[in-house]
Amino acid sequence: MDSKLLKRGSHLRSPAVGLKLDYLFGLGPKVTNNVEYVEETEVLFPCGHYVISYDTEKRTQNFMTNPQASVGQKITAMAVNQKCKLLAVAESGDGDNPPWITIYDVETHKAKRLPFSPDQKSREIVCMDLSPDGHTLLTLGGAPDYQLTNWQWQKGRALQKQKISNPTSAKIYQCSYCPTDPACVCLTGDGILHFMRIEISEFRVIRYSLGNREPQNYLCHAWVDVRLLIGTEKGDILVFINAEYRGILESSPGNPIYCIATYSKGFVCGCDRALLYVFEPDERAMYKRNKSFEIDGNFKKITSISVSPAEDTIACALENSQAYVMGISNTDIAEDMSFEPLALPFHHQAITGLDSCLRKPLVVTCGLDKSVRVWNYLEKTLESIRFFNEEPYSVAIHPSGFHILVGFIDSLKLLNLLMDDVKLCKEFPIRGCHECHFSNGGHLFAAVDGPQIVIYRTYTCEEVGRLKQHTGKVTSIQWAEDDSILFSAGVDGSVFQWSVSSLISVAEHKQKGCNYTCVLGRSVIKGLKSGERARSNEMFVIGSDMMIKQINQSGVLSEKAVSMAVSQMVMNTEKRLIVAGTSKGSLLSCGLSDGKLVENEIPPINCHDGKCTRMRLSADQKYLFTASEDGTLAMFEIVDSAEKHSKKGKEKKDDGRLPWSEDILVSKRNLEAKLTMLTTLKAKVEELQHRNQIQLAEKQKSYRAKMDEVEQKFNAELALDQKRYGELEGTKIKLEQEFEARMHKLQEQKESRIKSLVEHHQQKLQTETEKFDELMESRASAEADWKNQYQSTIEKYVAEKRALDKENARQLREKHREQEEAEHQKKAVKRDFKETQELMEEITDREFEDLKSKYDKILNTEQKETLQLKDENASLRRKFEKLQEQINENDAELKSKTDEREKKRLGIENLKKDIKSQEKEIRDRQATIQEKDNLIRDLRKKNQELEKFKFVLDYKISELQKQNNPREAESRECAKQLHEMKRELGLYETKNSILKLGREDCQQKLEGISKSIEKHSGDMAEVIMVIKKIKLELKDLKKIKTYKEQAKFVKALHARYSSREANHPRAKKSLTQEHDANKEHLRNRSFLERTVESLKRQLRKDVKHAQRDYDRIMKENVVLVREINNLRRQYQTTVESMKLKDQRIEKKRRERMRRNAQRDAQRSGKLTGLEPIHQSPPSHRSIGDSKQQIAAQQEQIAHLKQQLQELLEREQQQMKGKSEKRPGSGTKLPPMGKNASAVAGAMLDSMALEAAVKGSAEKP
C-alpha cells in the first residue's frame, strides 16, 4: 500500500520555502455520503481535494489526499467502514483519464489505489459501499453506462462487472451490500429498483413484485438486517424483507426523503426543508415515527446522515455546505433538543472577497451567499457573520480591525465591526465595486468604479481624487508599503503606478490583447555610484497570455510562463516567493533570485474544486489564505526549512512586531445596556447566594434532627437483634441433638432392610437356574427334529429342480427356431424396401432436374428485366430531383424578393410618419418650453415657501413609513397564505368530484353483481333439489338384487333426469360444458374473494387518509380563525393610535404655520398675496388603503370558510355512503353460478376505476 498521504503537520516538499496546509474552512456538498463518523469524536468530510478528519473535542483537522491526482479531478463519493476503520474516496476523471478510487486506512494512514479501465464511458463514480467484513468494495459508475463493479480491493482486481440496463437514461443514486448477506446487492434510482445476487463472475437479477404500485423516484435506501427501507420522492418509506415487498410505513413523512441512516433503536431519515424524522420499532406497524426535528434557519434538503459508533450523536450535512450534530441518546426525554454546527458555519457559494487584518489575527470574506464573515485564523473560530439582501462583490478590512469596506451592486458601504454586530457607517455612490483596499496606514482607501479608481479619506469620507487613465475595467489594485504609490491593472492590457499625492501616473506598461487579472508591487532599494541609495518600484502582473511579468519603469525585466490560466497572485517579500492561484483551483509558485523570476521546485498543489478567486497573506507573512468558487477558504503556513534548521535549539527572537491587539469596538448604547445588565445580574447573584445560605442552614438543622432519630432507632433495633440472636443459638443446639438421634435410628433401619433383601434375591436366583436347565433340555430335542425335516426338504427340492430344467431346455429350443424364421422374413422385407427406394430416387432426380432447368430460364429473364427497370428508375429519379431543386430555388428567390419589396414599402411609410410626427413634436416642444419657462419662474417663488415645510413633512413621513412597513409585510404574508389555501381548496374539490364519480359507478356495478348473485343462487337451489331426488331414488336401488334389473333401473333414471335437464329452458349446454363451467366458477370465485379482500384493505386505507386530511383542514381552519382575530385586534389598535397621532400632528402643523405666517408678515407684506397651500396628511391615505386591504382579506377569509365547510360536509357524506355500501370484512360472498365470468369482469372494472381515481388524486 502507498503511504503518500498529506496530513496535518506534513510538509509539501521544497528545498528552502514550502507550504504546509494548516486548516480548511468548508465542506463539499456534491459528494455522496459527505459526512461519516469513524470514531466517537472523529468525523470525516470532504473539502476541495482533501478529506478532513475532524476531532470534535480538540477541534483539530488532519488531511488525506491523493498526491497523484491530476488538476481538475474532484471528489465525487465516499464510503466508510466503521468496524475496519477504512475510507474509500472516489475522484472524477477528465478527458481520457478514468476515475480514481483510493482506499485509506484511517488509523495507519496507508492508501491503496484501484485501477480503472479507460474503456469505461463514465468519468465519475456516483456511489460506493464497503462490505461488512471490509474485503470487497461495490462501486457504481455514472452516466451514460452506469457500470456496477465488485472489487477485491486488496488485490486491486474487479471480481464482477455489469452495465445496468437503463433505456430511459434515468439517474441511479445508490448501491449497497446487505449487511447479513453480502452476496445480495440493491440499487435505487429514478424509477429503478434492482435486487442482485453476486455469482462467480456476474450479477444475477432477483425478481420481485410491487403489486399494483407504479415505479417511483427512489432517492435512497438503507438496510436493517434483512429489511430494506427505501425513501421516495413522494415521502413514502417502502419496506422489503428478503427482496419481497411488504408495504409502506403508515407514518411516512410525506416529504421527499434524501437519506436514511439506521441504528440499533430504529432509523433516522433526512428530508427537504431541513427536517429530520426519528423512527422506532413497533409491533403493529414495524416502525412508528417517534420525533421530528428541524434545523433552525435552514430550508435546504439534508443530503447525508451518519450515526456515531456509540449511537449517542448524529451528524447530518445539508446541500448548502453546512454540517450539524445532535444527541439522540435521550430523544424521549429532551423536548427542546436542537442542532449545533459540526465545525463552523461555512460559505455555501463562491467567495468573492478576501482580506486580512494588520493588527489582529482576523480574515474577512464575502460571498455570493449574501454574507460577510470574520474569521480568527489563530483560534480557528468565526468571530462575526452578517447577512445582506444583496450579493457582495468585494471586501476589505481596516488595519485596526474596526472597519470593513463591502462593495455591492448599487453602492460601496463602510461598516463598523463591533463586538457582536456589524453596523453601517457610510455609503458611497460606487456601483458594482469588485475591488477595494485600505492603505497600509489605514488613513485612505481605494475603490474601483468601472475604469476609474476613486481614493477616499477613511475618517472623514472625503473624496481625494479619481484616477482615470484606464480605458477598460480595472481588475486589481494594490498599495505600496509606504502608501505613496498605488498599483493597478485592467482588462485593457495596461498597468499603472499612481502617485497618491499628485494623482498622476508615474509609470505604465501596455500590451494590447492581454487582459491582466492581478498586479503586485514592491519597493527596491539600489545603490548608486555616488554612494547614495535610490528607491524604485517594481510590478508583477499576470494575464490572459499566461505569463508572469516583472516590470519596472524601463520595461519588462523578466517573465515566466505558467502551464495554466492564473487568476490571483501573492508575494512574500521576506521569503522571495510568489504563489499563484489558477482557474482550476491549484496553486503554482515561483521564486526570486537576483531580482528576477526563477523556477521553484514546489510542485503544483491541488487544493480547491473551483477557480481561485482571492489570495491574501497575513500581516506577518507567515500564513497564506486562498478562496475559491466552491466556497472553501484554505489556510497554508509558509515554512522556510533553512531558517527552521538555523533556529533549531535556539530561543525564539523577537521580530520587532507589536503583539496582536485585543481592543474591540463597542457602541455606547450597547455598553450601557451591558453594564446595566451586569449590575442587575450581580444583584441577582448576591440575592441567590443569601437565599442559598439560609436554605443550607435550615437543611443542616433538619438533617441533624433526622440523624439523631435514626441513631436512636438503630440502637433499639440492635438490642432487639442481640436478644433474638441468643434465643436462636439455643434452638440451634436442640435441633442438632435431635438430628443426631434421628440419624442413628435411620442407620439401623437401613442395615436390617439390606439383610432381608439379600436373602430374598438368593431364593429367586435358585428358582431361575432350575428353569434355565429345563429350557436347555427342550432346546436339544427341538434341534434334532429340525435336522430331520431339513434333510427331507432338500431331497424334494433336488427332484423338482431336475424336472424344471428339462422343461426349460425344451422351450428354449422352440424359441430359437421361431427366431431364425423371423430373421429370414426380415431380410426379405429389407431387400424389397431397398429396391423400391432406389426406383423412387431415380424418378425424383429426373423430375427435379427438369424443374430446375425450367425455373433457371424464368429467373434469368426476370433478372434482366429488373436491371433495366432499375436503371430507368434511377435516371428518372435524378431528373425529378433536379427539377424539384430548381422549383424550390425559384420559389425561395420569389419569396425573398417579395418580402424585401414589402419591407421597403413599409419602411418608407414608417419614415414618412416619423417625419410628420417629429415635426409636430418639435412644434409642441417649442410651445411647452415657453410654458415651462413661465412655470419655472412661478415655481421658484413657491419653492421658497415649500422648503419651510419640507423638514417637518420629511420627519412625519419617515415616522409613518416606519409604522406602516411591518403592517404591509403582514398583509402580504396573509395574502400569500390565502392564495395557497385557495389552491389547496381547488385541489380538494377536483379530488372529491373524481371520488364521487367513482363511488356512483361502483354502486351501479355492485347492484348488478347482487342481481346476478340472486339469479345464480336460485339456479343452485333447483340443482340441489334434483340431487336430493336422485339420492332418494338411489336408495331404492339397494332393494333390487339382480344385475339386469339394477341396470334397467339406472338407465330409466338416467333417461328421466337427462331428458328433464335437456327440456329445461335454462339448460343450453352439454354435460361436459357444465363440468368446465363449474371449474371456471370455482376459479373465478376464489379470484373474486381475493379481490374483495384487497378492496376492503384499500377502503380502510382511504378512510384513514380522508380522516387525516379532515383533521389537517380543521387545524388549519382553527389557525386561520386565530389569525383573523389577531388581525382585527391589530386593526383596532392601529386605527386608534393613528387617529391620536394625526390629531397631534395636525395641531402642531397649524401652530407652526401660524407662527411662520406671522413671522413672514412682519418681514414683508408681499406674502399676503400668496395662495394658501393645502397639504393633506399622508396618514389618512395610508389608513384608507389599509382599511380597503383588510376588508378585502376579510371577504376572502369568509369565502374560504364557506368553501371549507362545503368540502367537509361533502367528504363526510361520501365517507358515510362508502361505509354503508361496502361489504363487511367478516361476511363471505354467496356461491355464484354460471355467470361468474361476467361478475369477474365487473369487479375487475371497478378495481381499475378505483386505481385510476387514486392515481388522479395523487398526481396533484
Residue 214: CATH number of its domain:
2.130.10.10
Sign of CA dihedral 1189, 1191, 1192, 1197: positive
Q: Which amino acid is at 832?
A: D
- Give the lowest-confidence range in 216-230, 509-523, 873-887: 873-887
Q: What is the CATH number of the domain that holds 609?
A: 2.40.10
Q: Which domain holds residue 604?
A: 562-641
- Sequence-distant (6+) residues with CB within 8 A of 1215 are 1103, 1106
- Give the lowest-confidence range in 215-229, 471-485, 873-887: 873-887
1169 domain residue, yes or no:
no
- Give me the residues paired with residue 504 across strands: 499
Residue 1239 has pLDDT above 70, yes or no: no
Say whether both 435 and 538 belong to one domain: yes
1008 domain residue, yes or no:
no
Say whether both 613 and 487 belong to one domain: no
Percent of the chain with pLDDT over 70: 86
Say whether both 383 and 297 belong to one domain: no
The length of the chain is: 1260
- Whole-structure pTM value: 0.57
Average pLDDT of span 119-132? 87
Say whether both 1118 and 1143 belong to one domain: yes
Residue 1220 Cα to chain centre, angstroms: 44
Average pLDDT of span 628-632? 93
- Give the lowest-confidence range in 55-69, 164-178, 552-566, 1159-1173: 1159-1173
Say whether both 305 and 420 belong to one domain: no
Say whether both 637 and 498 belong to one domain: no
3-state secondary structure of 258: strand
What phi and psi, each to the nearest 5 degrees, are found at residue 816? -65, -40
Residue 1227 has pLDDT above 50, yes or no: no
- Give the lowest-confidence range in 84-88, 489-493, 1010-1014, 1158-1162: 1158-1162
Residue 1167 has pLDDT above 50, yes or no: no
Say whether both 553 and 585 belong to one domain: no
Q: Is 306 exposed, middle or buried (0-12, 13-18, 19+ CB in 10 A)?
A: buried
Strand order in the sheet with 533-543: 516-527, 533-543, 547-552, 555-561
Last residue of a domain, one of 619, 641, 663: 641
Residue 961 corresponds to which cell in the numbers above? 413609513
pLDDT score, position 1258: 42
Residue 1170, by phi and psi: left (phi above 0), alpha (psi -120 to 50) or beta? beta
Last residue of a domain, one of 641, 661, 680: 641
988 domain residue, yes or no:
no
For the chain, how many structural domains are there in total? 4
Say whether both 507 and 623 belong to one domain: no
- Give the lowest-confidence range in 387-401, 741-755, 1031-1045: 1031-1045
Residue 142 has pLDDT above 80, yes or no: yes
Quote the CA–CA distance of 587 and 602 in Å, as a whole number: 10
Say whether both 595 and 535 belong to one domain: no
1013 domain residue, yes or no:
no
542 domain residue, yes or no:
yes
Between 1164 and 992, residue with greater pLDDT: 992
Quote the CA–CA distance of 229 and 251 in Å, as a whole number: 13
Residue 1242 has pLDDT above 70, yes or no: no
Residue 418 has pLDDT above 60, yes or no: yes
pLDDT score, position 1247: 47
529 domain residue, yes or no:
yes
Last residue of a domain, one of 286, 314, 345: 345
Per-residue confidence band for 568, with pLDDT thresholds at 50, 70 and 90: very high
- Give the lowest-confidence range in 77-91, 489-503, 599-613: 599-613
User: Shortest CA distance to 88 belongs to which of 17, 149, 147, 13?
Assistant: 149
In the block, cell 405666517 appears at 1157
Per-residue confidence band for 8, with pLDDT thresholds at 50, 70 and 90: very low
Q: Is 1142 exposed, middle or buried (0-12, 13-18, 19+ CB in 10 A)?
A: middle
CA gyration radius, the chain: 51
1089 domain residue, yes or no:
yes
- Using N-to-C axis directions, what is the helix angle for 1071-1163 and 1236-1258, rounded to 10°? 20
Quote the CA–CA distance of 1097 and 1113 in Å, as a whole number: 25
Say whether both 235 and 321 belong to one domain: yes
Terminal CA-CA length for the chain: 55
Quote the CA–CA distance of 571 and 600 in Å, as a whole number: 14
Quote the CA–CA distance of 429 and 412 in Å, as a whole number: 7
Say whether both 1245 and 1105 belong to one domain: yes
Average pLDDT of span 517-543? 78
Percent of the chain with pLDDT over 90: 26
pLDDT, tens only, 1100-1139: 888 888 888 878 887 777 788 787 777 777 777 777 777 7
718 domain residue, yes or no:
no
Q: Is 935 exposed, middle or buried (0-12, 13-18, 19+ CB in 10 A)?
A: exposed
- Give the lowest-confidence range in 192-206, 317-331, 970-984: 970-984
Say whether both 1188 and 1206 belong to one domain: yes
